[in-house]
A and B are shown apart, each in its own frame.
Chain A
Amino acid sequence: MHHAYRRRVVLRGVDLRLRAGTLCGIVGENGAGKSTLLKVLSGELRPMRGTVRHSGRFGYCPQHVVLNDALTVRQHLTFFQTAYRLADVRYAEEVMEVLGFTGYADERTSVLSGGTRQKLNVTLALMHDPQVLLLDEPYQGFDWDTYQRFWDLAARLRDAGRSVLVVSHLAYDTERLDELWRLDGGLLRPDEAGVAA
């Protein structure tokens, strides 16, 4: 894939295959093009050249929290339950339980803390049990305990055959990953440091 914003070239030929049952990370400095790459992968942005093909359901968690401040957490779940055509929201409730914000179900999102809003942001991307999960800086605002539980959840999904791609500007906890890539100069390069064997 290639992409540029006017003259500023951001992606110079990224070639990525995300295999089933893989927990993959992409790191890079600020402005390296990580969010652009994820926007292209999610269909939010059309690349100037190249194609993206998902063979299964996918979920996308954007870097900036995308919620409706007028609605409660439960109303968000109902809205996305309808979008995903789910029979119920049991799966979403389990994700909420893991992330520890079940008690906020009837709160309007405008009054939630930044971390809790991010938990809902992640839940909306996960609640239809996607086979491919694209997460852009998913743990920003999480406390330490939630951060740990997030990684545990990601590993559980990977173990069940889901593909999880986490994009971050920080290369913390790389030992939790099966693959680590570094986006630099518009190209993806394997980064072996710290990746689980």
Chain B
Amino acid sequence: MRFHLTRFAVATRFTLIEHGRNRFAMILVGLFVPVWTTLAYLAMPDTPARMRLHATGEVLAPHGNELTEISGALNAVTLITGFMMFAATFSGSGFDRRLAMAGYPRAHLVLAKVTALALVSAAVAAYATAITCLAWTPCQPLLLAAALFCAGLTYGALGVGFGSLLRREVEGMFAIVMTSIIDLALQNPISSSGADSPVMRYLPSYGAMQASTAAGFSTSPVPGYLAIQLTWFAAASLIALVGFRRSTRSSLPLAAPTPLPGPGSDKVGLPAPRQAATPSPAASDTEAH
């Protein structure tokens, strides 16, 4: 058990350090979230926008600026987590492969990435909810945070998938931005007259959008829509996992690990310079045919 915990803890620590040193992402979190959500709140008219919320069946008339602010918060959270995970995966795929080929269990690397994604998504979602609560008071702030968290998880997993499968950095960034824009713009009743269309149910952040809108303007709990969002997260994670397995696989046949010198052994240490050429009995050959 200690074996697994150590490997998981080391990988998680270094994954979090890597995210923390992504300065641009930190600036985005610090500035982009408040600027985007505050502008959406201040610049949009507060005229009531009549809409029917699928999640509860209620007909609501929220202020247009508050509805846009929720959409902006979702947009900011999904772009940031998607970008952070894409950047880490894209730049770190060779390093992950090297670690895996050196014997680091891939399951521990994956679990560390998921843990880091969950922590990043939780922090950004909590921050975006706090910024929202400064401007107006949603009916269910905790549900809003949960919806933003689930959307962040989903786009983070998509970012890992794009990072594993795409060849150029610009391709991945474009894919994340366009996915988020299409996804959220189509669902916003202010900007899209088709926001009641059944097609919306198949968009990646449908569950989070329904849950966050309910969180803003209704008192009904909507756990089923958080579950829909988590299903999207599971599907995106599966794609990411396939990409990760593909990029870190080894073509060599599995071999039993050769024992290493134990702790405190005299064998630990470089061989002395210029000894007689006497191959050790443990030494082995490599053959290629």
Cα distance A69–B94 in the bound complex, in angstroms: 12
Q: Using A17-B285, A56-B258 as known contacts, list a sample of 10 further A-B pairs with CB atoms less than 8 Å apart, ordered by residue number in A.
A: A44-B251, A46-B251, A64-B94, A70-B21, A75-B17, A82-B10, A84-B102, A108-B21, A131-B283, A159-B275
Cα distance A66–B94 in the bound complex, in angstroms: 6
Is A139 engaged at the interface, CB distance under 8 Å to the other chain? Answer: no
Is A41 engaged at the interface, CB distance under 8 Å to the other chain? Answer: yes
What is the interface residue range for chain B against chain A?
35 or more
Is B276 engaged at the interface, CB distance under 8 Å to the other chain? Answer: yes
Name B's A-contacting residues (CB within 8 A).
6-7, 10-11, 14, 17-18, 21-22, 91-92, 94-95, 97-99, 101-104, 250-253, 255, 257-258, 260-264, 268-280, 282-289
Q: Which chain A positions have C-beta within 8 A of B98?
A: 62, 66, 124
Name A's B-contacting residues (CB within 8 A).
1, 14-21, 40-47, 50-58, 60, 62, 64, 66-71, 75, 78-80, 82-88, 90-91, 94-95, 98, 108, 124, 128-129, 131-132, 152-153, 155-163, 165
Q: Which chain B positions have C-beta within 8 A of A41?
A: 286, 288
* Contact between chains at A163 and B283 (CB < 8 Å): yes
A39: nearest chain-B partner, CB-CB: B251
* Contact between chains at A75 and B268 (CB < 8 Å): no
Q: Which chain B positions have C-beta within 8 A of A46?
A: 251
B97: nearest chain-A partner, CB-CB: A44
* Contact between chains at A91 and B269 (CB < 8 Å): yes
Cα distance A47–B252 in the bound complex, in angstroms: 10
When A53-B253, A66-B94, A71-B18 are in contact, do A14 and B263 touch as well, CB less than 8 Å? no
* Contact between chains at A71 and B14 (CB < 8 Å): yes
Cα distance A82–B4 in the bound complex, in angstroms: 11
Q: Which of A57, A70, A82, A85 contacts B18 (CB 8 A)?
A: A70
* Contact between chains at A56 and B284 (CB < 8 Å): yes
Instruction: Return the 6 tightest CB-CB contacts between A and B, nearest first.
Output: A55-B284, A56-B284, A87-B263, A21-B279, A20-B283, A43-B252
Cα distance A90–B270 in the bound complex, in angstroms: 9
Closest chain B CB from A50 CB (angstroms) = 5
